[in-house]
Amino acid sequence: MSAEANGPRPLEAPPSCGEARTDGVRKLVAVVDRLRAADGCPWDLEQTVASMAPSLVEEAFEALEAIETGDDAAVTEELGDLLLVVTLIAKIAEQEERFDLGDAARVVSQKLVRRHPHVFGDANVDSAAHVVENWERIKERERLEKDADASALAGVPSALPALQRANRLGAKAIAAGFRWSDAEGALEKIEEELCEVRAAFEAGDETAVARELGDLLLAAALFGNYVETDAEGAAREAVRRFERRFRTMERTLGGSLRETDLDGLIRAWERVKAEESLDSEA
């Protein structure tokens, strides 16, 4: 075989269809097809649907982080990585004669049409909350027709981060009618759970402390549904804020924090917070 035959074979991109979004997706499909061809990439050829599954989680979190930073270039790149993983998984399944990307696209399209009767049918809604209620009713009906889990709480993956899962379960419970009349009731539940944490702590019962702390975190996540706040996102932002302030405090004090007593650390922390507030107001 000649050296030319052994050389790289350029990608044969599909001709433009005149629609930029479709052109972009078609090019990605062509790239993945080439990677999974018999003479494609050895690493890609070794992958399976199962081996690629963890990448869905990793890329989704990287996309989430990019979205939270507000960097559109980073969001574009990370969403592209997520699209790649989805397309590659579908290609592997296609080669195993299980399903393909078109099947996945058709199923989700049909689902969206079915669950938006106020857009594609003659149903009427008067608010986003009404849309969510209709959505959950339709999902429940679909599960009954499939003889699947018909609980109002069905469909929330157990592998979700705990606060995110609590938020989603709370939203479903609220849509099913299990709800406080207003946010005040949900806030009082947080105060009640905090009192129970304190009681367990003062009793020296470590098992009860862990249980009551879990209930407190759950109550806080459920409260998020009443004030339109994503508990997971709020927690992530709080962690970023804590890390940013802690690192600033380290730089301010210099050396090891162990050389500064607690009162000094608290004063340094408060200075960092105050300076951060001034910067945000500037």
pLDDT of residue 1: 32
d(CA 251, CA 101): 50
pLDDT of residue 3: 39
Average pLDDT over the chain reads: 91
Q: Tell me: the pLDDT tens digits for 119-170?
A: 999 989 888 888 888 888 888 788 788 877 878 888 898 888 999 999 999 9
Q: Tell me: the pLDDT tens digits for 249-258?
A: 999 898 778 8
Give mean pLDDT, residues 264-282: 87
CA distances 150 to 54, 83, 86, 107, 226, Å, are 28, 31, 28, 20, 25
Residue 112 has pLDDT above 70, yes or no: yes
Give mean pLDDT, residues 103-119: 95
**pLDDT bracket for residue 6 (50, 70, 90):** low
pLDDT of residue 7: 58
pLDDT of residue 282: 60
pLDDT of residue 145: 82
d(CA 32, CA 101): 11
3-state secondary structure 37-97: CCCCCHHHHHCCHHHHHHHHHHHHHHHHHHHHHCCHHHHHHHHHHHHHHHHHHHHHHHHCC
**pLDDT bracket for residue 236 (50, 70, 90):** very high
231-253 and 49-69 are packed helices; what angle lies between their axes, rounded to 10 degrees?
70
**First CA to last CA across the chain, in angstroms?**
69
**pLDDT bracket for residue 8 (50, 70, 90):** low
- Tell me if 276 sits within 8 A of 245, measured CB to CB: yes
pLDDT of residue 176: 86
Q: Tell me: the pLDDT tens digits for 45-99?
A: 999 999 999 999 999 999 999 999 899 999 999 999 999 999 999 999 999 999 9
d(CA 156, CA 198): 31
Residue 2 has pLDDT above 60, yes or no: no
**Backbone phi, then psi, for 260, in 5-degree steps?**
-115, 135
Q: Tell me: the pLDDT tens digits for 170-227?
A: 998 998 889 999 999 999 999 999 999 999 999 999 999 999 999 999 999 999 999 9
Give mean pLDDT, residues 21-36: 95
